[in-house]
């Protein structure tokens, strides 16, 4: 017996715990992703002399959906944060939550990261304090290095806010209702991929038909669509039910596509396959479908199995933003001393990742979580009154 799909707006504004779980898991994925960037083939701030094919495959798969999923989750969060008539308050909250931590990253956390990169790449010799004038004079990292996500999210929110306000109005909700009635049809959720494919055809991120655009341009063009999709998905119960119902098909399609895309890549790069406009468009559609299928599968299984609150979730969800802000500088600092050691890749990773995780968690627990002024700098809400904090071990046990 098929599950009946009910198309109606998400009138219940209660917290969706699966969004919190997916946010925590996605940012945890970013942490382990960056801990592995020492060992894949593409350039990074610090690189290991030896690379790993396994790490390369894992990183390539994460690149297909990791940041895209985060932008989808952020779009869903905007739906709950944007209340009728509260656009000004919403923007003020976004400034405190995104721009204040970004300023911290640019002024405090970016300089040591850029310094370590210049040092290990042979572009600078000298102490960190000798490098600082150069940073503010020419190597200034306007995106805060890894905090480009916060900068782009604020920009997308600012530009898309009129659209989100309209979606909240009766005419906008009717448009979402039409989209929902379309999306509940079998396989229709996969057609949401067409706008992404069209954009990829236009910008050609892989450089198949022309030189590939800069990564910053690609992010500016493609990622806003994922924010809009997140908003639309959470705005209607029927769309969410359609995703749940099609989660297995999405997972199968994602896995099958993951197996076939490397063959296409090898054919283009090594076997000299030629592309006319039609075949180029088909490759872009396949790449878009691969990414979107992963997102639909993750959302579908998350909605189905992760919509339960736990003390660990409450703790982790509050810690996500500070953890994200701090994680990469700590990873790079530890990696600077570990990477030169004569150890296999697995041993280096098992030193860097757990040690960095423990240090960041300790900084958050004892240096950020308990102090209102520091909480504000890291984009967190202030505590209404002093709390008695349970031990982390007790939270994890629950």
Q: What angle (nearest 5°) sits at the alpha carbon of residue 59, between those of residues 56 and 61?
A: 110
pLDDT band, very low/low/confident/very high, at 46 (cuts 50, 70, 90): very high
Q: Which residue has the higher pLDDT, 7 or 323?
A: 323
Whether pLDDT at 322 is above 60:
yes
Look over the chain and give the mean of its residue pLDDT values, rounded to a whole number. Answer: 88
Q: What is the pLDDT of residue 369?
A: 94
Q: What tokens does 13 get?
A: 């504004």
Q: Report CA-CA distances (Å) from 26 to 57, 105, 210.
A: 18, 20, 33
Q: What tokens does 75 get?
A: 């779009």
Assigned domain for 34 exists: no
Question: Where in the sequence is the domain holding 171, given as residue range(s)?
Answer: 17-27+46-309
Assigned domain for 11 exists: no
Assigned domain for 254 exists: yes
Flag the least confident range among 149-158, 323-332, 339-348, 389-398: 389-398
In whole angstroms, give the CA distance from residue 126 to residue 229: 47
pLDDT band, very low/low/confident/very high, at 145 (cuts 50, 70, 90): very high
Q: What does the pLDDT average to over 22-34?
A: 96
Assigned domain for 332 exists: no
Whether pLDDT at 377 is above 90:
yes
Instruction: Name residue 9's beta-bridge partners.
Output: 236
Assigned domain for 285 exists: yes
Assigned domain for 361 exists: no
pLDDT band, very low/low/confident/very high, at 7 (cuts 50, 70, 90): very low
Give the total number of structural domains in the chain.
1
Flag the least confident range among 48-52, 267-271, 346-350: 267-271
**Backbone φ and ψ of 9, nearest 5°:** -65, 155
Give the predicted TM-score (pTM) of the model.
0.89
Q: What is the pLDDT of residue 139?
A: 76
Q: Which residue has the higher pLDDT, 3 or 97?
A: 97
Assigned domain for 371 exists: no
Q: What is the pLDDT of residue 16?
A: 85
In whole angstroms, give the CA distance from residue 340 to residue 337: 6
In whole angstroms, give the CA distance from residue 368 to residue 370: 6
Assigned domain for 51 exists: yes
Write out pLDDT tens, residues 83-107. 877 888 899 999 999 999 999 999 9
């Amino acid at each position: 017996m098929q599950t009946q799909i009910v198309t109606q707006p998400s009138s219940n504004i209660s917290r969706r715990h699966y969004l919190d779980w997916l946010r925590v898991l996605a940012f945890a994925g970013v942490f382990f992703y960056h801990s592995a960037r020492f060992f894949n083939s593409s350039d990074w701030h610090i690189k290991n002399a030896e690379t790993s094919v396994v790490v390369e495959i894992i990183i390539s798969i994460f690149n297909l959906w990791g940041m895209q999923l985060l932008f989808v989750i952020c779009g869903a969060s905007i739906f709950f944060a944007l209340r009728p008539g509260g656009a000004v308050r919403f923007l003020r909250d976004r400034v405190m939550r995104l721009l204040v931590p970004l300023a911290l990253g640019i002024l405090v956390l970016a300089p040591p990261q850029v310094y370590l990169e210049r040092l290990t790449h042979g572009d600078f010799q000298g102490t960190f304090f000798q490098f600082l004038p150069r940073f503010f004079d020419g190597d200034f990292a306007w995106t805060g290095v890894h905090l480009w996500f916060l900068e782009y999210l604020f920009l997308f929110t600012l530009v898309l806010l009129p659209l989100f306000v309209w979606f909240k109005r009766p005419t906008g909700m009717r448009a979402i209702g039409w989209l929902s009635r379309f999306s509940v049809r079998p396989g229709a959720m996969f057609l949401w991929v067409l706008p992404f494919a069209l954009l990829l055809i236009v910008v050609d991120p892989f450089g198949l038909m022309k030189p590939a655009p800069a990564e910053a341009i690609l992010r500016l063009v493609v990622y806003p669509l994922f924010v809009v999709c997140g908003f639309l998905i959470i705005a209607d119960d029927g769309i969410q039910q359609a995703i749940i119902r099609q989660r297995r098909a999405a997972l199968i399609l994602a896995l099958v596509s993951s197996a076939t895309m490397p063959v296409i890549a090898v054919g283009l790069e090594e076997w000299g396959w030629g592309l006319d406009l039609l075949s180029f468009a088909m490759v872009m559609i396949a790449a878009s479908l691969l990414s979107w299928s992963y997102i639909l599968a993750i959302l579908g299984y998350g909605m189905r199995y992760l919509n339960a609150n736990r003390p660990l979730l409450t703790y982790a969800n509050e810690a996500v933003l500070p953890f994200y802000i701090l994680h990469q500088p700590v990873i790079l600092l530890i990696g600077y001393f570990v990477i030169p050691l004569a150890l296999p890749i697995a041993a280096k990773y098992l030193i860097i990742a757990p040690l960095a995780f423990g240090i960041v968690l300790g900084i958050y627990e004892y240096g950020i979580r308990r102090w209102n002024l520091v909480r504000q700098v890291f984009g967190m809400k202030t505590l209404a009154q002093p709390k008695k904090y349970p031990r982390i071990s007790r939270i994890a046990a629950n």
